[in-house]
Structure 1
Amino acid sequence: GGRTPRIFKIMIKRVVVINMEEINRFLNGRGSISSNILTGIMVLNILIHNKPSKEHIKVGRVFYTNQGSRSLSGGVEAWQGYFQSIRPTPRKLMINVDLHATAFYESDSLVQLVVKILNKRSVDDLRRIHDRDRTKLEKCLKNLKIFVTHRGE
Structure 2
Amino acid sequence: MPVPIIIPVLAALLGGATVGALSRQPEINSLQAQVRKLQSEVERLQNVIRMQDRQIKQLLVQYKGLKAYQFNARNKARNYTRGALIFQYAYKEYLELLMHSVDTGMVKLSQEETIFFNIFDKVIEGQNVSDSEKEAIKEYILYRYKTQIDNLQECDCNSMVERLRDYRD
Q: TM-score, normalised by structure 1?
A: 0.21
Q: TM-score, normalised by structure 2?
A: 0.20
Larger % of strand: which? 1
Query: Which one has a bigger Cα radius of gyration?
Result: 2
Larger % of helix: which? 2
User: Highest relative contact order (Cα 8 Å, sep 6+), 1 or 2?
Assistant: 2
